[in-house]
Amino acid sequence: MKLLRYGAPGQEKPGLLDDAGQVRDLSAHVSDIAGAALQPETLAKLAGLDVSSLPVVSGTPQEDLRLGPCVGAVGKFVCIGLNYSDHAAESGMAVPPEPVVFNKWTSAIVGPDDNVEIPRGSTKTDWEVELGVVIGKGGRYIEEADAMDHVAGFCVINDVSEREYQIERSGTWDKGKGCDTFGPLGPWLVTKDEVGNYDDLAMWLEVDGKRYQDGTSATMVYKVPFLVSYLSRFMSLQPGDVISTGTPPGVGMGQNPPVYLKGGEVMKLGIDKLGTQTQKVVKA
């Protein structure tokens, strides 16, 4: 299934994408694509619905029908840094002996095609296409062999980053990662059964039509089951938590010379089987 949230910001309703590319309303079955709706038993009920009987929502998704973040009421937005060896190299950093963990604040979350704002005073706003993992079944001290039982599905994330705030202004990475609009999610949450092999998904990102990132999740250092297990040692994972798993090479910081967003650009990014995002860059 491709689960989504549609409508005006703050008023999104739950839906799914049918085989014809139409949005079908799920409001009679779940209140939101969030929390308990992502648990295995609820997903199984949704998967058993007769899609043709669900109300059709007027409009074309991502054209005249706005999509919101594909997960609502996210409790934790946890990110993994330097999780692709070639991205670590372009950043001038070594692959870490354990995953680098940081947070994006949930106030950073926006829809997949909403504007991305450059913070006031920023000179080094950058992009990162990432594979997002959405937790469906909560847990602590999860065994790696059981980790995928806790995953509801996957989505596209743009881990927008302000490099000066992140690296040069002292303190943790969080300072440059969680600015408002720095976490577009979606367009849809694709359940793991539909994704299949998540270990070899093509990932790409373009700015004004120029392709900067062109990679694959196959080169991820710490894989999804390990990350779920690893994070569960330090925090309880709960339904609706989102994990952003790192980016392949091609970020602006890694260009020679570096390229950063100034305002007015259009970012377009996508992951095989998970859809695309398009964001206009504006100044806050």
Q: What is the pTM of this model?
A: 0.97
Element (H, E) at 273: none
Residue 164 lies in a domain: yes
For residue 72, give the nearest of 101, 40, 30 by alpha carbon. 30
Instruction: Kindly state the tokens that stand for 102.
Output: 């940081």
pLDDT in tens, 175-226: 999 999 999 999 999 999 999 999 999 999 999 999 999 999 999 999 999 9
Residue 5 lies in a domain: no
β-sheet bridge partners, residue 215: 203
pLDDT in tens, 117-174: 999 999 999 999 999 999 999 999 999 999 999 999 999 999 999 999 999 998 889 9
Residue 22 lies in a domain: no
Q: Is there a contact between 5 and 12 (Cβ–Cβ < 8 Å)?
A: yes
Residue 118 lies in a domain: yes
Give CA–CA dist 270/130, Å, rounded: 9
Residue 17 lies in a domain: no
> Any idea what the CATH number is for the domain that residue 168 is in?
3.90.850.10
Residue 54 lies in a domain: no
Residue 98 lies in a domain: yes
Domain holding 158, by residue range, is 69-283
